[in-house]
Structures are given as C-alpha cells and as structure tokens.
C-alpha cells in the first residue's frame, strides 16, 4: 500500500508542478489601458511569423488598449489544431499565409463570414473570399525574373512563354513542394484549363537548366551567377536581395493583363467559427486592412499592401506597376490539389 501511494503521489506532484509551470508561463499580452473594465483580449492563431506580426499587434494594443494573445505554427498544423479544438478553441482570429490555406480553412468550416463595409472597401474583391470568410491583407506577386546581361525583356511574354523551346536549358524553377508554385499552377489551370496548363508545365520541365531549387533566394543567386537566364520568384525575395546588393544583374518582368496578368497570392485572416471574442477579432481584422496598418503589414516584408490606397515600399515601387490577374485568389485553393497532381504527372519535382 505504501508503494501505491508513494508512486501515485509522485505522479500527482509531477503533474501539479507541470500545471504550475504553465501558470507562471506568462502572457504575450501588452498591458491594457487604464479603463475601469479592461477590454477582452483577442486571441490570434498565426502562421505568419512573429517578427512580422508583433509590430502590428503592438501598434494595435497601444492604439486601442486591446491586448492580443497569439501563438504561431505552420499553416496546416495550425488549421488542424483549430479544427480539433472545435468549440473549445481559444482562437478568435486565424492569420495565415497563402490563399490555398485560407480557402481550406473556410472549406473545413473553421471560419465564420464577416460582413463589414470597411473591410469590403479596403480589400479588393479578388483578394478576399467570395463568401466573406477571409480577407487578404498583403499581396505577394509571383513573377518572372531574368538575367539583365543576357536576356532582352522583349523576349518575355508570360508564364506560358517560359515553356517555349528557346528557353531550353535556361530556366530555373523552385521545387513544386512550395505552395507558391502550386497556386501558380492552380491559377494556370483556372485560367487555361488543365490540358493547356499541363502542356506548359511539361515545357518548363523540359527547359530546366538544373535541378529545381529549394528556395527562391537560391534561384535568384543562380541567375546572378549565370547558371540560368530566367526564373519565377516571389518579388519580396528579390527585394531583400536587392536591398543588400543594389547592383544585382536581375530584372523583374511583369506579364501584361492581355496574357492574364501577374499571379498573386495573399496572406490574410478570418474570424474563427467558435470565436469567443468575434467582435474584437473583427475589429482587429478591420484595423489591419486600414491604410495605417497596411503600411506596417507589407512593408517590413517587402510585400504589396492589399489595400490599393496604400503605396508599397519605395524599393518595391521602383519595379513599376503591374496588373494582377483578375481571378479571385480563392481559385488557387480550389485547384491546388489538381495542380499538385498535374505537376507530379509532368515530372515537376
């Protein structure tokens, strides 16, 4: 009997200690304003990295006095966590990257629709869910880059053009594992149909100068080193590189509206279905779409603001204006699985 109680006690003590540890874990929340009744905090699940969102949350808290609690994780695990928690979830707002993930979260019923004139005014229709489950907050343009020493931009047309034989052995691509390429191909499917899209992707694969790269930065460096002549990247990766190295011999090419426009993706947010503080979440979401927050949102990361009234970072603006594909970014989610299968078939690794 003695043994029983000793061991049971040990375990209870352990668990108690653990709970205690958690209790002293502290909060991320900033101190509230001196109101008589402290405002209810907003709890955010974020797949956008802490260093990108913290300045925005801090600004919100100091402006409104509303504390924000947040936790970060990868996109899919975060959605799975939200789904598993169901109505017990502490999350009020889901902030994530890539339209595919936003589409998937909405599809799984993790988000609730939000009707807000301010939001609809701030965010253009093609950058938000047609059913108002989520709103894009920053825009990432995935476009063509080229070696200014060997390529005349006149030779470039659009994404499909890169499948042309004249680029044989000159094209660099990032791996198809990356969601950016998956949504690019998804948009091609949505625009041109599956057969055409597959022909294009096969053309790309045939034109590859070398194995696909693990990330966009490696790809850009390969162009700068002359390993290949053209490639497709998210512009902010180029922006970061150019900031440190203004002389880099790489140019940005924007496919024109006639050929379908530039492929864009978003990071965005939606209020969770089981939010305890839906109002607070919606207020935060609306505030983030406002010009003030939009400057903070994309600027740090050299993305484009979703709110068209806000100008991008000067270095980003210097690449000139572009016309984004008018298709709704939600299509990227709807066709993403098809895109992945297509790339597998076409041998795009």
Closer CB to other proteins, 81 or 292, in the complex: 81
Closer CB to other proteins, 199 or 345, in the complex? 345
**Residue 295 CB, nearest approach to other proteins (Å):** 19
In terms of CB distance, is 119 or 190 closer to other proteins? 190
Q: Tell the smallest beta-carbon distance from residue 98 to other proteins (Å).
A: 10
Query: In the complex, what is the shortest distance from the CB of residue 187 to other proteins, in angstroms, rounded to a whole number?
Result: 15
Q: Based on CB atoms, which residue is closest to other proteins, 217 or 286?
A: 217
| Least distance in angstroms from the C-beta of 288 to other proteins | 18
- Minimum CB separation of residue 31 from other proteins in Å reads 15
Q: Which is nearer to other proteins, 108 or 196 (CB)?
A: 108
- CA-nearest of 8, 327, 306, 1 to 137 is 306
């Amino acid at each position: 009997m003695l043994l029983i109680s000793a061991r049971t006690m040990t375990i209870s003590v352990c668990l108690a200690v653990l709970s205690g540890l958690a209790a002293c874990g502290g909060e991320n929340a900033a101190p509230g304003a001196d109101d008589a009744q402290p405002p209810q905090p907003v709890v955010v699940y974020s797949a956008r990295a802490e260093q990108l969102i913290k300045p925005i949350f801090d600004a919100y808290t100091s402006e409104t006095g509303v504390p924000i609690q947040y936790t970060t994780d990868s996109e899919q695990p975060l959605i799975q966590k939200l789904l598993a928690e169901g109505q017990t979830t502490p999350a009020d707002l889901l902030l994530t990257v890539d339209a595919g993930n936003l589409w998937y979260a909405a599809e799984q019923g993790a988000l609730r629709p939000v009707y807000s004139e301010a939001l609809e005014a701030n965010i253009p229709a093609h950058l938000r869910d047609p059913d108002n489950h989520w709103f894009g907050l920053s825009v990432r343009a995935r476009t063509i880059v080229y070696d200014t020493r060997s390529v005349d931009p006149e030779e470039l047309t659009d994404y499909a053009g890169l499948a042309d034989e004249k680029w044989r052995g000159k094209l660099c691509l990032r791996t198809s594992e990356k969601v950016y390429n998956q949504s690019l191909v998804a948009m091609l499917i949505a625009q041109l149909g599956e057969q055409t899209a597959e022909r294009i992707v096969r053309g790309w694969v045939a034109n590859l100068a070398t194995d696909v790269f693990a990330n966009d930065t490696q790809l850009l460096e390969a162009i700068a080193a002359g390993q290949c002549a053209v490639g497709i990247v998210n512009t902010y990766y180029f922006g970061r590189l150019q900031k440190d190295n203004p002389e880099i011999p790489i140019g940005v090419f924007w496919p024109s509206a006639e050929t379908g426009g530039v492929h864009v993706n978003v990071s965005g947010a939606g209020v969770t279905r089981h939010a305890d503080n839906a109002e607070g979440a919606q207020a935060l979401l609306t505030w983030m779409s406002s010009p003030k927050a939009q400057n903070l949102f994309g600027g740090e990361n050299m993305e484009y603001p979703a709110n068209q009234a806000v100008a991008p970072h000067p270095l980003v603006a210097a690449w000139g204006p572009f016309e984004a594909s008018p298709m709704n970014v939600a299509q990227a989610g709807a066709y993403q699985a098809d895109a992945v299968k297509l790339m597998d078939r076409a041998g795009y690794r």
